[in-house]
């Protein structure tokens, strides 16, 4: 009931986009305008860090190979498995998504005083349970070359590995078809900030 009351009072925007599109930068800009940011990737990392509540279930489902020496999820091993075996990826998502959803709902309720909330969900187009939490979908969009350049620079992954990640995600055209709002991230930070500021004004009006 607390969550429903919180959602009834203010707007929740589901923010999504492909890897390297700039979702985190956009979320940070919205935070600067006072929006509550609920980042499901950050929640997933907490769940799978050493001592995270998802670790025992991951160990039971996949084996010790996928748990690092520090007790956290072995991300390179799990990434390789998920790309090689769609059934394994689905099993991991079925394990993690209910936990992530529950914590996201709690964070939305805890941040009810914010004028509106940005719910960052990279897998939003394929995650109907998360889409039900949001009244609008915001897609951060850029061309594939920009994605490749950004992810290779920040992650150390090869271009081939990044292309495989992009290919595994929802196609760009499908994301855009779901969008109520689109932010283009092919320019500079000032241009990005201007787009966020315009949407902030719109979202504030939605709450009036």
Tens digits of per-residue pLDDT, 2-21?
344 444 568 999 999 999 99
In whole numbers, what is the pLDDT of the chain averaged over residues?
92
Q: What is the pLDDT of residues 155-180, one digit of tens each?
A: 888 899 889 888 888 899 999 999 99
Angstrom distance (rounded) from CA 111 to CA 79? 32
- What digits encode the pLDDT tens for the residues 30-71? 999 999 999 999 999 999 999 999 999 999 999 999 999 999
How much is the pLDDT for 9? 60
158 by Cβ neighbours in 10 Å (0-12 / 13-18 / 19+) ranks as exposed
% of the chain residues with pLDDT over 90: 79
Our CA angle for 158, 170, 174, nearest 5°, is 135
Coil/strand/helix, residue 86: helix
pLDDT value, residue 4: 40
pLDDT digits (tens, 9 = 90+) for 94-104: 999 999 999 99
Which pLDDT score, from 0 to 100, does residue 95 have? 96
Looking at residue 69, what is its pLDDT? 95
Mean pLDDT lowest among 35-49, 108-122, 144-158, 170-184: 144-158
Residues 137 and 180 sit within 8 Å (Cβ to Cβ) = yes
Min mean pLDDT across 9-13, 90-94, 180-184, 195-199 is at 9-13
Indicate the DSSP class of residue 132. T
Q: Looking at residue 208, what is its pLDDT?
A: 62
pLDDT of residue 3: 41
pLDDT value of residue 2: 37
- In angstroms, the CA 51 to CA 38 distance is 21
Residue 15 and residue 134 in contact, taking contact as beta carbons nearer than 8 Å: no
Q: Is the dihedral of CA 16, 30, 100, 3 positive or negative?
A: negative
Element (H, E) at 12: strand 11-16
d(CA 163, CA 34): 35
Q: In the structure, what pLDDT confidence band is assigned to residue 194 with cuts at 50, 70 and 90?
A: very high
């Amino acid at each position: 009931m607390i969550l429903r009351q919180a959602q009834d009072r203010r707007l929740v925007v589901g923010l999504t986009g492909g890897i390297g599109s700039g979702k985190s930068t956009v979320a940070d800009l919205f935070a600067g305008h006072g929006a509550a940011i609920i980042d499901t990737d950050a929640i997933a990392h907490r769940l799978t860090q050493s001592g995270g509540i998802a670790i025992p279930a991951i160990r039971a489902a996949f084996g010790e190979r996928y748990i690092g020496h520090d007790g956290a999820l072995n991300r390179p091993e799990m990434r390789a498995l998920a790309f090689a075996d769609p059934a394994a990826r689905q099993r991991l998502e079925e394990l993690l998504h209910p936990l992530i959803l529950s914590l996201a709902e709690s964070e939305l309720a805890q941040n009810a005083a914010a004028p509106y909330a940005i719910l960052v969900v990279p897998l939003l187009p394929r995650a109907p349970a998360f889409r039900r939490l949001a009244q609008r979908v915001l897609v951060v969009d850029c061309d594939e070359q920009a994605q490749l350049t950004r992810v290779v620079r920040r992650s150390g992954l090869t271009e081939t590995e990044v292309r495989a990640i992009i290919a595994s995600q929802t196609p760009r055209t499908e994301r855009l078809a779901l969008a109520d709002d689109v932010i283009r991230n092919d320019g500079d930070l000032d241009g990005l900030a201007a787009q966020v500021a315009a949407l902030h004004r719109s979202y504030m009006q939605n709450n009036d």
